[in-house]
A = this chain, B = another copy of it.
Amino acid sequence: MSDVAEPTSGRRVRGGGGASRRAERTAVSFDTARFITRNIPNFEILNAEALEIIEWNADTVLEEVGVNFLENPGALALWRAAGADVKGERVHIPRGLARKLCATAPSAFTQHARNPARNVEVGGRNLVLAPVYGPPFVRDQSGGRRYATMADFRNFVKLGYMSKWLHHSGGTVCEPTDVPVNKRHLDMLHAHMTLSDKPYMGSVTEPVRAADSVEMSKILFGADFVDQHTVMTSLININSPLTFDSTMMGALEVYARAGQAAIISPFIVGGAMAPVTVAGTLTQVLAEVLAGVAYSQLVRPGAPVIFGAFVTSIDMNSGAPTFGTPEAAHITYGAGQLARRLGLPYRSGGSFCGSKLPDAQAAYETANSLNMALLAGVNFMLHACGWLEGGLVSSYEKFVMDADQLGCLHHLAQGVMMDANGQGMDAIREVGPGGHYLGCEHTQANFKTAFWRSDLFDYKPFETWDEEGARDTETLAAERVTKMLGDYQQPDLDPGVAEALADYVARKKAAEPDAFI
């Protein structure tokens, strides 16, 4: 199929230095689809007038209200030098300045994987899919809900590696709570680097951990390669409203200086961290991204960044965030338009749901979110599979359920083939009124690729399904998880590199005492 990247086994990959030379030894037999390139339009919910109002208002917010850069005198100095009006920790950015600074950010970039066949292009009409990020709990059908461990983390990396429609290994696929807080980033990076050959994310919880991420990447790819190429895309959240803390900005500074990519992302529960209306939230999102991206370009002009928008609605009865809702869709569509007008890659969407179980609620909410994200023009979708319970839980079953549904997005994005074969006039002439198409030549020539097919769902006759145990989707998914983890084979890695990575992790772990908060 055309949407599956060629396996690299047995063929020589040229160029790219050490990473490429190692790539041929890391080839694996699992199919991975190429990242999505859309052949369909984006859905544009806002007209030009609405977009101009929001852009004007965002500049008004930056100038009049300003943004806080906390405990970060270096940032304040950069802003002052760039022409902002800095009062205490509050940065007032004159109308137009932030947008002007954003102009040096690339509209698209390549994130390299250690297997070059897994490189991804972020921006343009592309969509790169990465798994769930951040949950402290995991759930599976047999074990229920429990704190996540490093063993769970490794399992999720393996599942991601084997998931055909997932292009990216992600970052904190769950929080390994059995490893000290100040050391777990080392184990997590090591897992992504050794258990998968897909691209991955770096640590952002402290600037020193971001620096460790860069150092380990240099071991994996070679230092020169990392100096010249983007090998990580990491998640920098803004403390909405309008606040940039020194931890996140410190990590951003490390990555920007190293030429590594960052998603600069407001994190908003609507009605709590932003106005309760869609246009108001879009205004704040745009103001925050403008300030964050502009700052990244002050640190290093040309640093690759992504316009992020993580926005949920809220249940005003309980205060719980809600997912897959119409208001979240409005914001996701609108923010995509704003990102394209800024000329930046766009991150939003995900397998969002509030349900406690991988049940119908989870699937309705997730499907709403995934479909919206495709049509909104998202370029990088974090949380594309495995998210459960408002992001508190990484679900094994939902991971494979969502990962299967991501195949839908690939085929939707292909659009409609209008060549002679696509038009099928010969078939209509051959079959005629009252006939059937199953046996006709056109059907025989096209049936293998004509229709997307789930690898998970039940398509059997009722009687067969009933005799086989009347399994629901969660049960089918649990069986698939077991099968995948049983079939897993680690991609090859140069033994010298593997040893150097293990040494780095061991050395850094020994250098300081464990911390659990």
- Note all chain B residues with C-beta closer than 8 A to A431: 241
Partner of A411, one of B61, B318, B326, B443: B326
* In the bound complex, CA of A428 to CA of B437 (Å): 60
Sample of 10 A–B contacts (CB below 8 Å): A242-B434, A275-B443, A276-B442, A276-B447, A276-B450, A277-B442, A280-B428, A318-B460, A326-B409, A359-B363
Among A277, A389, A470: residue with most chain B CB under 10 A: A277
Is B459 within 8 A of A43, CB to CB? no
Task: Assess the B276–A416 pair: CB atoms within 8 A.
Answer: no
- Least CB distance from A438 to B in Å reads 5
A227 touches B (CB below 8 Å): no
Q: Which residues of B contact A401 (CB under 8 A)?
A: 360, 364
Query: Is A247 at the interface (CB under 8 A from chain B)?
Result: no
Q: How far is the CB of A318 from chain B (nearest CB, A)?
A: 5
CB pair B277 A330 closer than 8 Å: no
What 8 A-B pairs have minimum CB-CB distances, sorted nearest first? Answer: A280-B424, A275-B424, A367-B367, A363-B363, A326-B411, A242-B433, A360-B473, A360-B363
Question: With A and B bound together, what is the CA distance between A436 and B284 in angstroms?
Answer: 13
Q: Give the Cβ gap from A451 to chain B, nearest Cβ, in Å.
A: 4
Chain B residues with CB under 8 A of A460: 318, 320
Which residue of B49, B243, B356 is within 8 Å of A470 (Cβ)?
Answer: B356
B283 touches A359 (CB 8 A): no
**Which residues does chain B contribute within 8 Å of A461, judged by CB atoms?**
318, 320
A431 to chain B, nearest CB (A): 6
Given A359-B473, A437-B272, A452-B325, do A416 and B279 touch, yes or no (CB 8 Å)?
yes
A111 at the interface (CB under 8 A from B): no
A442 B275 Cβ-Cβ under 8 A: yes
Q: How far is the CA of A46 from the CA of B39 in the complex (A)?
A: 10
Query: CB within 8 Å of B: which of A407-433?
Result: 408-412, 414-418, 421-425, 427-429, 431-433
Within 8 A of B (CB), among A431-468: 431-438, 442-443, 446-448, 450-454, 456-462, 465-466
A315: interface (CB < 8 Å): yes
A53 touches B (CB below 8 Å) = yes
Our pick among B284, B423, B428 for the contact of A428 (Cβ within 8 Å) is B284
Q: Does A71 contact B (CB under 8 A)?
A: no
Q: Indicate if the CB atoms of A451 and B270 lie closer than 8 Å.
A: yes
The verdict on A1 contacting chain B, using a C-beta distance below 8 Å, is no
CB distance from A457 to the nearest CB of B (A): 5
Q: Could you tell me if B45 and A472 are in contact, using CB atoms closer than 8 angstroms?
A: no
Residue A277 contacts which of B241, B372, B421 (CB distance < 8 angstroms)?
A: B421
Query: Closest B-chain residue to A408, C-beta based?
Result: B326
CB distance B375 to A453 under 8 Å? no
Contact partner, A278, options B65, B416, B428, Cβ 8 Å: B416
